[in-house]
Structures are given as C-alpha cells and as structure tokens.
Amino acid sequence: MTLQQVRNKFIATITESRDLYTHCLSPVGLHTDSGVEAAFIQLHKNWEVFLEEILVCLLNGQTVINGDPITPKLTIGDRNLIRTIIYQDKNYIEWTDETAVKRRFERHLNTPNRIINTLNIISTELKDLTKVRNFIAHSSGTAKLNYENLVRARLGGNPNTTRASFFLKAIDTDDPTQTYFDKYVGTLEIAAENMIGS
C-alpha cells in the first residue's frame, strides 16, 4: 500500500464514521448512544491503523505525498520484516498512548519531522480520544475515573458521564458550531494531511 492509498483509506473511514454518527442522530432512538460510540470506536481503530501503516510505508522507503520530506533512520525493502521489527515479538502494538506513539516514530524516523510536530500539536486531543476510547472499551475503575475527569474538565459542573455518547454529542465549549465528536474527527483529518500530505 502506498502513502496515498493509506491516506485515502483513512479519509474514507472518517467519512464512514461521520455518516454513522449522523445516521444515529436522525432520528434519535434506542440505537443512538450505541451507534455514536460505535462510530467513535471505528474512528479510533482506523486512526491506529493509519499510524501503523504510515510508519511501515516510510520505513519501506516511500516519500510523503507533498511537503517537507520525512527520512527514516533505516529503509527496509521487506514490509513483513518491517512489521516484525515494529512488533518486537508482540501480538499487537500499542497505538493509544500518544507518548509511546511519539517515541516509536522518534525511534524509527529522523527528527525533527512533521509527524512528531503534528502529534505534539494535537497531544491534548489524542489524550482525550484515548480516555473516551478506554471508557467505551474497558470497565476498569481507572478508565471510568479518567473519563469522568475529562468530561468535567471539558463541560464543567457535574455532567452526565454514564455514556460516552453524551459527551461526544455535547457542544464543544471552545467552538459552539461543533460537537466533541466533530472536533475529534476534524482534528484527526487535519492531522493526517499535516503528517503525510494530501
């Protein structure tokens, strides 16, 4: 897969997540909360796939679509070998912890580079995304507490924290023209373009 194909696939999944989110709100019904959360989980999963695929492409010697080039510390022709090196005998790679993601890109790519710069710029949103994702996907007390603290910090007061969908449907306090779901989708869409071009 080329970087252009990776980008196009990610943008298509963003469109699918937006469409699912919109569909679940019109009309509002029993499906709405689960559907909104499913749209968010799908978005988050595809962000993780995007991150992994751009790293594989860059280590495979591909160049960014446009803009400042990104130089890998090592170029490897075999994509399977690249995945073996990245996975380091693990069954999966952790792509939710933004600090670990930045370290992984720093380990394999010459710095400074536009991927690290972009991740630094959207660090707060990435942390928010992880807290919402963990609250939806896990039942741990830590995931719940981190999510509750996030929602209270963003919305103020003592908002309803029983479902992540309530927060994702809430109006962004920094931009009343969008919801938090819209904010996070837009952030990732712009980040993808900033990282590898359009």
Question: What element of type H or E holds 80?
Answer: helix 79-87
**pTM: predicted TM-score of the whole model, two decimal places:** 0.94
Say what the pLDDT of residue 28 is: 87
Say what the pLDDT of residue 27 is: 87
Q: What is the mean pLDDT of each run of 10 residues along the chain (198 residues)?
A: 95 97 90 95 97 97 91 96 93 91 96 95 97 95 96 94 96 96 98 93
Cα→Cα distances 70→3, 54, 56, 77, 159, Å:
12, 11, 13, 17, 43
Angle at 42 between CA 103 and CA 116, to 5 degrees: 20
Say what the pLDDT of residue 79 is: 96
Say what the pLDDT of residue 122 is: 97
Say what the pLDDT of residue 62 is: 95
